[in-house]
Every structure is written in structure tokens, then in C-alpha cells.
């Protein structure tokens, strides 16, 4: 596995806003978010650990990924105390020519087939944008989460 220079440079502290859209008829939830990006597995993975607040309660999460040596494939994981409780979402995907990581996973719905979850991670030296879409079976994806971050350290 390999990481591009762009993602190696992402290490450090980040701060910004996390916005969650809990459903099509629900109001968006916005929170300050603090994120620490660090290399893991001898520089082969990038791990994004973050803290945020929902309904006055502290929340935590982690998003990590690695890229294949030829940068054609990506794999990762996502956990979040508010979104997926005690379940780790396994992710697979790819990296684009412009260093955007695209990851996808699924999660069980209370009734019926699993739902999809897409994540897009892009970063520059000073900005990071993470966008997540929820995908009901047979439907188009809906915006679910967005992190808008500025490098702080």
C-alpha cells in the first residue's frame, strides 16, 4: 500500500465544521469538529481521528484508508459513536488522478436490504473536505455528512 504525497502532507491538526443531514425532512446538525490526521502502519495508511458534538453530547470517530501501490484501489474503515455506534464500516474504493479518495461501504437497515454509504476525501496543504452520501436501496444518494476543515497545526 502507498499514500500519495498529498495525503502524507495531510498529517497534523485540523479544525472546522461538521454538518449532518439526518434525513430528508430533518434539520441539519452543525458542530465544530477537531481532527487529527496521522500516518499509521509505517506510513502506509492515513488515520483521521475526530471529535464533534451532537445534541450537546461529545462524539468521536475515526476514518482510515490505504491505497494500493499503483494507486488504483483504496480500502478503509469508518467508525463514529453517533453514526454507527459499535459497528466498523469496511470501505473499498479508488483514488482519482486529482488525489481524491472515493470510498464506499454498506450498513444494515432496520428492515430490508443494506443501504450504501459513499465517502469522498480531498485535501490540499491547508484545506480538507470530506463529503458522505447515504444511498437507500434503488435510490439516488443523499447528502449525509460534510466536514469542512482548515489545517491548524
Each residue's pLDDT expressed in tens, for the chain with a length of 153 residues: 567 788 888 999 999 999 999 988 889 999 999 999 999 998 889 999 999 999 899 999 999 999 988 888 999 999 999 998 788 999 999 998 888 999 999 999 878 899 999 999 999 999 999 999 999 999 999 999 999 999 999
pTM, to two decimals: 0.94
Question: Which domain does 92 fall in, by range?
Answer: 5-151
b/e map of 53-83 (b: 16 or more CB within 10 Å)? ebeeeebebbbbbbbeeebeebbbbbbbbbb
Q: What is the total count of domains within the chain?
A: 1
What CATH number is associated with residue 32? 2.40.128.20
Amino acid at each position: 500500500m502507498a499514500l500519495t504525497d498529498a495525503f502524507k502532507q495531510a498529517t497534523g491538526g485540523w479544525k472546522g465544521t461538521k454538518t449532518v443531514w439526518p434525513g430528508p425532512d430533518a434539520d441539519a446538525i452543525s458542530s465544530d469538529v477537531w481532527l487529527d490526521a496521522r500516518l499509521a502502519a509505517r506510513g502506509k495508511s492515513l488515520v483521521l481521528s475526530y471529535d464533534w458534538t451532537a445534541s450537546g453530547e461529545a462524539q468521536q470517530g475515526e476514518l482510515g484508508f490505504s491505497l494500493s501501490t499503483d494507486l488504483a484501489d483504496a480500502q478503509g474503515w469508518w467508525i463514529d459513536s453517533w453514526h454507527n455506534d459499535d459497528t466498523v464500516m469496511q470501505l473499498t474504493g479508488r483514488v482519482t488522478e486529482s488525489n481524491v479518495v472515493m470510498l464506499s461501504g454498506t450498513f444494515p437497515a432496520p428492515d430490508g436490504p443494506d443501504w450504501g454509504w459513499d465517502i469522498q476525501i480531498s485535501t490540499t496543504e491547508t484545506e480538507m473536505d470530506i463529503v458522505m452520501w447515504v444511498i437507500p436501496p434503488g435510490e439516488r444518494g443523499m447528502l449525509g455528512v460534510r466536514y469542512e476543515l482548515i489545517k491548524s497545526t
